[in-house]
Amino acid sequence: MAEEVKKRVFSGVQPTGKVTLGNYLGAIRNWKPLQDNYDCLFCVVDLHSLTVSQVPAELRKNTLDLTALYIACGIDPDKSILFIQSHVHEHAELAWILDTVAYVGELNRMTQFKDKSRRHADNINMGLMNYPVLMASDILLYQAEYIPVGKDQVQHVELTRDIAERFNARYSETFVVPQCLLNKAGSSIKSLQDPSAKMSKSDVNDNAIVTLSDEPDVIRRKLRRAVTDSDSDAHCVRHSADKPGVSNLLNIYSLCSGESVAEAERRFEGKGYGVFKDAVADSIIAVLEPIQAEQKRLLADKGYLEAVLKSGAEKASRIAQKTLTKVYRKVGLVPQIR
């Protein structure tokens, strides 16, 4: 009987700093269950990180921390390909070809580019603008069908689809056109200090984010300081558009505890914000403690991490090379004689 060909999944996180609860609930947490039914590649996208200023030694540390975190969150290197983006040079090479297919106008319109240009006004580099093209390259290189991401990355996946379709129309069928896998509940975790903004690794206000390495007392303190809403219904724990702060905390509680939002509303009815915030903190701590312990154990075993990354890069390179060779041929580059 012919072996079933599994559809491919690709996703990644930038090692730009300490990974947040938003990155975890919106993306990483959703990867583990995909491994049995799909052919998965999970990448530490270090080249993307260079689009904002990095301290080289910190970037190296963050990259290894994130590798260990992936495994601690349930990525099994025997089931999935786990690798570092810069270990597979085809990412940058395909990005160049895709640059000739992407339009300046569409890159200029990207929300993240506009947002990061505002936040890093002293460093609006070409990489920042080109970020979505490199992301398209990450995805198209592996002919990935499904891309599990948070809401903020949906626009970039849509651009990837446009680039793939444009390339296919110009040079004949080459790329699988990918689609987003969005886990609605966790897809947009908000800042604890400003519920109109997303929780982001690079937020300068440490109280706005819960990081995956925060100690329990830090998590409790940040939750107690979380912005709630001062409407007439103050101290009522209810999920609604006019209570964005409380709604965000309810979402987090629901995702971490497994209780539905409606159940949580009933549980905290009449209890006030103090009790509620402590319970949210406890639910986060219960999720993070085992991950933190496992990440620490893995980081102490450098040999194992290096072996995982070596094998991951080899497996990813084999797929990437095949796609890039095809692309070079399609666009008319003369193959190198070896």
Q: What is the DSSP letter of 36?
A: G
CB of 10 to ligand AQP, least distance (A): 11
Label residue 36 exposed, middle or buried (CB < 10 Å: 0-12, 13-18, 19+).
Answer: exposed
Q: Which of 9, 13, 73, 281 binds ligand AQP (CB under 6 A)?
A: 13
Question: Strand order in 8-13's β-sheet?
Answer: 81-84, 39-44, 8-13, 146-148, 179-181
Interaction of residue 153 with ligand AQP, rule CB under 6 A: yes
Task: Give how many residues touch ligand AQP by CB under 6 A.
Answer: 21
Q: Which of 18, 23, 82, 113 binds ligand AQP (CB under 6 A)?
A: 23
Compose the 59-78 pattern: x for residues touching ligand AQP by CB under 6 A, - for all others: --------------------
Dihedral, CA atoms, 132, 190, 59, 117, nearest 10 degrees?
Answer: 50
Tokens of 195: 């519920």
259's tokens: 């209780």
- Residue 152, exposed/middle/buried by CB under 10 A (0-12, 13-18, 19+)? middle
Q: Between residue 91 and residue 130, which ones bind ligand AQP under the rule CB under 6 A?
A: none
Residue (200 or 295) nearer to ligand AQP, CB: 200
Question: Which of 8, 9, 20, 140 touches ligand AQP by CB under 6 A?
Answer: 20
Decide whether 99 or 194 has the Cβ nearer to ligand AQP. 194
Radius of gyration of the chain (CA): 21
- Cα–Cα dist 64/57, whole Å: 11
Q: Is 136 one of the binding residues for ligand AQP (CB under 6 A)?
A: no
What is the nearest approach in angstroms of ligand AQP to the Cβ of residue 204? 10
CB of 116 to ligand AQP, least distance (A): 7
Minimum CB separation from ligand AQP for residue 48, in Å?
6
Per rule CB under 6 A, is residue 149 in the interface with ligand AQP?
yes
Active site residue 116: yes
Choosing from 201, 222, 243, 277, the catalytic residue is: 201
Concerning whether 198 is annotated as a catalytic residue, the answer is: yes
Q: Which residues, 6+ apart, have CB-to-CB distance to 136 below 8 Å?
A: 95, 98, 102, 156, 159, 160, 163, 164
Q: How far is the CB of 64 from ligand AQP (least distance, A)?
A: 16
Q: Please select the residue that binds ligand AQP; options are 16, 62, 211, 257, rule is CB under 6 A.
A: 16
> Helix (H, G, I), strand (E, B), or coil: what is residue 99?
helix
Of 120-128, 149-157, 167-175, 247-255, the segment contacting ligand AQP by CB under 6 A is 149-157
Nearest to 196 by CA among 205, 208, 181, 206: 208
Measure the CA–CA gap between 292 and 115, rounded to whole angstroms: 31
Contact predicate 20/202, CB 8 Å: no
**Residue 228 interacts with ligand AQP (CB under 6 A): yes or no:** no
**51 contacts ligand AQP (rule: CB under 6 A):** no
Find the helix or strand (DSSP H, E) in which 84 lies.
Answer: strand 81-84
Catalytic (active site) residue 18? no
- Residue 262 CB, shortest distance to ligand AQP, in Å, is 22
Catalytic residue selected from 18, 116, 243, 277 = 116
Write the CA distances from 47 to 53, 59, 238, integer angstroms: 12, 10, 41
Q: Does 211 bind ligand AQP (CB under 6 A)?
A: no
Min dist CB 68 to ligand AQP, Å, is: 16
* Bridging pattern class, strands 179-181 and 146-148: parallel
Catalytic residues: 116, 198, 201
Q: Which residues bind ligand AQP (CB under 6 A)?
A: 13-14, 16, 20, 22-23, 26-27, 149-150, 152-153, 186-189, 198-202
